[in-house]
Amino acid sequence: MGIRCPATSRAADPFPIPFTQPIAMWITTTAALLLGGAPATAPLSGPPPSLLQETPAAPMTPDEAQAKFLALEDEFDEARQAYYTEMRAKWEAHSEAGGDGSTFEPAPPIEPDFFPRFLALADAGVAGANGWVLMNWQHSGIEGAEAREAKTQRLLSVLAASPDDDVMMGLCSFLSNEASTDPRQNDPEGLIGPEASFAFLDVIRHAAKTDELSAYTLFTRGSCISDRQYYDADADLSAANVWYERAANEYPETEWGSRCGGYVFAANNLQIGQLAPDIVGKDHDGNDIRRSDFEGKITVLDFWGFW
Amino acid sequence: MIPHEKALVQRMQDEPFVLFGINSDDADTYHKKRDEMGVTWPSVNDDSVKPKISTSWGVQGWPTIYVLDHKGVIRFKNVRGEQMDKAVDELLAEMKAEAGK
């Protein structure tokens, strides 16, 4: 894909972003670096300050650090799976014995044990590890304005390393949380905030190497609005569709573009009081089957699975 | 979920009612478990359709449920369990009252 001019695209954004000055400068510099193809080793203001007391002993080559990160990630995924399996079993035993949610005590989370290990690799320059640290920030012990600044610096250093889509997509999820105005957030002061988070999402979209990632940033932008329904019953969610429509129209060939197309379709055609569109598929024996085959009957449409 | 759907289908077997399933498992799981679990109602395996119906319909979570009246109009969304039964009963009563006029 071609890189579109940020200025032009931003003008077309339905929600122009009123930058605060320091953020605007960061964004512009980062965007320039990214758009110009920054070398992977060009953090803007030196590596982010480590939260560790001790510095890692032996210097690692980037390849070694990356390999260590992948192994650590596997170890973490396995531990997390084991944790959930254990908690499910504990919960089942608990509810069989007549207990409910108010008396259930889950085991302490596993993330705090992993945090310093991911942090060491993040500080050694592994973008994926930095992404992990950002997404698990609540275990850092750092809150408030200090947290906001530390997160922003780490984010910039990951962006400057121009990592793969999966890391970038993780950053999008991270940013959607940072943009949240949910009053129930643990540390609202420590959040990067909607304005800067949306600007970062723009940066990621303009620097994206694949359409899939570009589509995902637009989806994320819309989901930041849709997510308000979980903490604000009166929130106007219709603005989300502007973003979903853009994702669907600009990146129709991508998975996230077609998902967003579905959200728009649902908003326009699947509301209470509307005539349900037809559904055509294959039945168990491979024959065509349609919803309209059952016209005249009360119909429950059930999107389901065996899980 | 499935036991409840089975009960509903059974209770409605002599009524103008259909439960139309859009199953989101991969094709193999679907074909294997469908027989095992005794799914008798008409179902489409989403894996057989491109793009998936769940994608075109913007489904974001499972189960997602729409209840349509006999004219095909969407009347309820995401009703589950007893609420789903109630919705169906209500529409059935409405349909019969209309026919009786």
- Asked if residue B101 is part of any domain, the answer here is no
- Find out whether B52 and A247 touch, Cβ atoms under 8 Å: no
Cβ-nearest to B73 among A258, A274, A292: A274
Contacts with A263 from chain B: Cβ below 8 Å: 58, 60
Residue A281 to residue B63, Cβ atoms within 8 A: no
Residue A294 to residue B20, Cβ atoms within 8 A: yes
How is B1-59 classified by DSSP, letter by letter? -HHHHHHHHHHTTTSSEEEEEEE-S-HHHHHHHHHHHT--S-EEEGGGSSS-HHHHTT-
Residue A265 to residue B58, Cβ atoms within 8 A: yes
Interface check for B85 against chain A (CB to CB < 8 A): the answer is: no
**B63 to chain A: closest CA residue:** A304
Total structural domains in chain B? 1
Contacts with A284 from chain B: Cβ below 8 Å: 31, 34, 43, 45
pLDDT tens track, chain A, 307 positions: 333 333 333 333 333 333 333 343 444 444 444 444 333 444 444 455 556 555 555 678 999 999 999 999 999 999 999 999 999 999 999 989 988 888 899 999 999 999 999 999 999 999 999 999 999 999 999 999 999 999 999 999 999 999 999 999 999 999 999 999 998 888 999 999 999 999 999 999 999 999 999 999 999 999 999 998 888 888 888 899 999 999 999 999 999 999 999 999 999 999 999 999 999 988 878 889 999 999 899 999 999 887 6
- Asked if residue B66 is part of any domain, the answer here is yes
Contacts with B49 from chain A: Cβ below 8 Å: 280-282
- CB atoms closer than 10 angstroms to residue B62: 16
Q: What is the CATH number of the domain that holds B10?
A: 3.40.30.10
Domain ranges of chain A: 6-51+142-294
The range of the structural domain enclosing residue B91 comes to: 2-96
Closest chain B C-alpha to A265 CA, distance in angstroms: 6
